[in-house]
Amino acid sequence: MTQGGWISTLKEEGAVRPRRTLAEEAADNLREFILLGKLEPSTSIPERELAEALGISRTPLREALRLLEIEGLVEYSATRRPRVADPSLQELTQYISVLGALEALAGETACVEATDAEIAEIQKLGHDMAEGSSELTALQFFQLDMRFHSSIVEASRNEPLIETHRQYNARLWRARFLSSQQVDRRDNTLSQHSDITAALIARDAKATRRALRDHLKSTISNITRIHEARDAAQTED
Amino acid sequence: MTQGGWISTLKEEGAVRPRRTLAEEAADNLREFILLGKLEPSTSIPERELAEALGISRTPLREALRLLEIEGLVEYSATRRPRVADPSLQELTQYISVLGALEALAGETACVEATDAEIAEIQKLGHDMAEGSSELTALQFFQLDMRFHSSIVEASRNEPLIETHRQYNARLWRARFLSSQQVDRRDNTLSQHSDITAALIARDAKATRRALRDHLKSTISNITRIHEARDAAQTED
DNA sequence: CGGTGATTTTTGGTATACCAAATTCCAAAT
DNA sequence: ATTTGGAATTTGGTATACCAAAAATCACCG
């Protein structure tokens, strides 16, 4: 070793990042397609065609599909034909239960682990949403909402928790996006967010947990409302 | 359709189960190897060699490794050389936090969803452990303990929750197995189990959650004790 | 016209070949 | 003896070929 441990510094900075494989990139691309709604639920995913479209061979694409299967964004038919996942209302409800438990844990942990700066950042996101409530588009409001929640989870500094939360969030992305179209729910969202923020600032673990779980409970009813509306519309056809 | 809906019955029975691929089988085999401790943490996993040993080609084996990576049992070096995961004490602690939150949710849910039969089954597992406490081997006691916890989670009837719990359980398997060698901790385990069972029988969601989280807290200290002992032993070499 | 069975086509699963990057090994130089 | 440079080897990543199963198509029959 020559001057001071600058090499280990480099390592910690993440400058030495793992090489990315085509499979991971493909998974990122596909995930984005699915989350942005460019691919409808139940759309079938022919491996050859998609591989060609992405300019890669089937081998890495298949690995990507496997990753997305575990994330819950892709599912396989009984004869193993991959398609975009289309979770039932029951599954969505189950996802939210788990998501609620994860966020509640994250909130509790954040009360202990988070820096003041991190809490301030969360508070700021809450403010931005409140300020812009009347101007923001559905998508913008939704994205801020997602970041608000993710920031809380990240403040827990629990890497596996963050990752698992990310996965459940992805599974719920579409349903939550659709339900975020209900502009009349914004006030409710905002008031619950300020409850959460207040509890975090007070570093009151119990209150934070309670506020987060209450919030997720109204998410369930929002999603249920939308889902039932869509089902009704479909039946009419 | 001929006589009664026996076809749909077949479907529900799972007789029409998805074809299993070599990748899934390989993942099962490898998982078993790792959980049973046949593969030490940090053991490197050469794809060709292992594929040959399993009698398959690298393609499905690589998919299996990808699955196990997400499960947290396999990790990749910066240059993407796969090896058996070797979680640090900090990671183990984080896993347990999440596991605790998952089991707490499962317990709450089970208070509402579980059938009396399911609760009786859980109670029976607790009894078996208590009865055999002085005779059972470490492995037997450990396996009953794992089944006790899994049964509670399964009683929640929340499929994604069960699956995520299974993954975290797998990540913690080895550490918990090692810490289960401390025979002197058995009484503590048993008394906590009976608290959990009592709360479940009373279908008292709050008490169940509390009992489960308390139980997991002592798991943390057990694992910490073992881990520090091993670290000390290693440093002596 | 509707259904049924065979045939063709498509699709996913697996094995294999090849490449580039990483690792190992060895010899030359200091 | 240690280090360094580079050749040889090993290893993971990707593309491709081939197979068997599934799905689609079509022709035939009631």
The separation, in Å, between residue B174 CA and nucleotide C22 C1' comes to: 31
Q: Domain locations in chain A?
A: 6-84, 89-236
Provide the positions of strand C that have an atom within 7 A of a protein CB: 10-17, 21-23
pLDDT at B8 over 90: no
Burial category of B214 from C-beta neighbours within 10 Å (exposed 0-12, middle 13-18, buried 19 and up): middle
Give percent helix, percent strand, percent coil of chain A, each to the nearest 5: 75, 5, 25
CATH value of A89-236 in 3.40.50.2300, 3.40.50.300, 1.20.120.530, 3.90.226.10: 1.20.120.530
Q: What is the pLDDT of residues B127-186, one digit of tens each?
A: 999 999 989 999 899 999 999 999 999 999 999 999 999 999 999 999 999 988 887 889
**For the segment 79-138 of chain A, residues whose CB is within 7 A of strand D:** 79, 81
Say which nucleotide is closest to residue A50, CA to C1' distance. C11
Alpha helices, DSSP H, located in chain B? 6-13, 22-35, 47-54, 58-71, 89-113, 116-132, 138-154, 159-179, 186-201, 205-236
CATH value of B6-84 in 1.25.40.20, 3.30.540.10, 1.10.10.10, 3.40.605.10: 1.10.10.10
Q: What is the pLDDT of residues A22-77, one digit of tens each?
A: 999 999 999 999 998 899 999 999 999 999 999 999 999 999 999 999 999 999 99
Cβ neighbours of B162 in A, within 8 Å:
none
Separation of alpha carbons B107 and B204, rounded Å: 9
The separation, in Å, between residue A197 CA and nucleotide D7 C1' comes to: 62
Say which nucleotide is closest to residue B80, CA to C1' distance. D12
Look at the alpha carbons of B215, B216, B218, B223 in this order and tell me if their dihedral is positive or negative.
Answer: positive
**What ipTM score was computed for the predicted complex, to two decimals?**
0.89
Q: Is the fold of B6-84 the same as that of B89-236?
A: no
**What distance in Å separates residue A79's CA from the closest CA in chain B?**
6
**pLDDT tens over chain A, length 237 residues:** 434 444 444 444 444 566 789 999 999 999 999 998 899 999 999 999 999 999 999 999 999 999 999 999 999 999 999 999 999 999 999 999 999 999 999 999 999 999 999 999 999 999 999 999 989 999 899 999 999 999 999 999 999 999 999 999 999 999 999 988 887 889 999 999 999 999 999 999 999 999 999 999 999 999 999 888 877 776 554
**What distance in Å separates residue B230's CA from the closest CA in chain A?**
24
For A16, the closest of B16, B78, B159 (CB atoms) is B78
Cβ neighbours of B82 in A, within 8 Å:
none
